[in-house]
Amino acid sequence: MFKHIVVALIVAVLFSANAEAGGSVLVMNSSAASLSVIDIDSQTEISRIPVLREPHHWTLTPDNRELLVGDTVANEMLFLDPVTFAVRRRLPISDPYQLGFSPDGKFLVVTALARAQVDIYEAGSYKLVKRFALKSMPSHLDFSPDSAMVFISLQGTDRLAAIDLRKMALAWDMPVGRAPAGVIWHNGKVLVANMGSDDVAIVDPRDGRVTERLKIGKGAHTLFRSPDGRQLWVNARIDSTATVLDPKTLKPVRTYKLPGGPDDLVFAPDGKVWFTLRFAHKVAVLDPTSGNFTTIAVGRSPHGIYLNPLGRATK
């Protein structure tokens, strides 16, 4: 009898250790006013957190202690515990769509796509430092590593804008291609995925000139760098593909077909890549080696996705 109890206890401890090690994933269901919490080990949605309107994207505070999720239509920023996903506080902020902290941790930059404005907040106090009216549809953003510049795609006017964060002034605003979306700083250049065409534009960050175009696939949308820096991923919405680029040559290495509108993605410690599938209302978990993927049903129009390997998902 005693032996059985000991075995049961060991199994329970191991199980709970695995659950913690596996971590959890948070999905922003943009048309369902909710956040789905998924347990990585069991690959099941274990809870759904209600929010007000349209959660789209997230960022971590520079100290990694808070997870910010923007709810655009509600004009609200949610501050979550990045491990348990408990909502700690809410802050009224105008139309927070994409958001990111400058690498030096001084500023939070928020694009308001629907309101054609970009807001620069002081990190920590979240006081508005400067508002830029940028036409139109300011969408994705990324920073130069020295925090001097932030680059913002203007989806509605086919342009990329650069804001000088030291002078708090618009540095330039240049055409880059039809309906630009994803932006990423890469090896001294800025890469911009153009949704309205089939390419990624390589832009000189000094003046905004397009120096080269990479053919990717129709509806190129988002750009991500793998944690080890060995891969660049580009998702295309019309072709429903995810393409891996060699970061040195920027040549396509492999393309995965992911029906359902692959949008944002996140890299898991086990090497798998998690995607939101906007139109299938699912998350795809791709094994890049085999190319196989499984899907998990979530809320309507899942957009942003965050993974915490240490996250202890609770029901």
- Which residues would be at the binding site for another protein (CB under 8 A)? 31-33, 50, 52-54, 73-76, 92-95, 112-117, 131, 137, 155-156, 178-179, 195-196, 218-219, 237-238, 240, 259-261, 278-281, 300-301
Q: Output the smallest distance, CB 37 to another protein, in A.
A: 15
Residue 34 or 231 having the CB closest to another protein: 34
Residue 116 or 285 having the CB closest to another protein: 116
Residue 115 or 272 having the CB closest to another protein: 115
Residue 184 or 258 having the CB closest to another protein: 258
Q: Output the smallest distance, CB 281 to another protein, in A.
A: 5
Q: Output the smallest distance, CB 278 to another protein, in A.
A: 7
Q: In terms of C-beta density within 10 A (0-12 exposed, 13-18 middle, 19 or more buried), how is residue 61 classed?
A: middle
Q: Output the smallest distance, CB 99 to another protein, in A.
A: 16
DSSP state of 314: -
Q: Output the smallest distance, CB 219 to another protein, in A.
A: 6
Residue 36 or 231 having the CB closest to another protein: 36
Residue 305 or 307 having the CB closest to another protein: 305
Separation CA 313–CA 306 (nearest Å): 13
Q: Output the smallest distance, CB 103 to another protein, in A.
A: 28
Tokens of 252: 């396509």
Shortest CA distance to 77 belongs to which of 99, 62, 48? 99
Residue 23 or 55 having the CB closest to another protein: 55
H and E: helices and strands count for the chain: 1, 28
The DSSP result for 131-172, as a single string, is EEE-SS-EEEEEE-TTSSEEEEEETTTTEEEEEETTTTEEEE
Q: Output the smallest distance, CB 114 to another protein, in A.
A: 4
C-beta pairs of 130-137 under 8 Å, 24+ apart in sequence: 130/168, 132/161, 132/163, 132/170, 134/161, 134/170, 134/173, 137/113
Contact 180/195 with Cβ under 8 angstroms? yes
- 67 φψ region: left (φ > 0), alpha (ψ -120 to 50), beta (else): beta
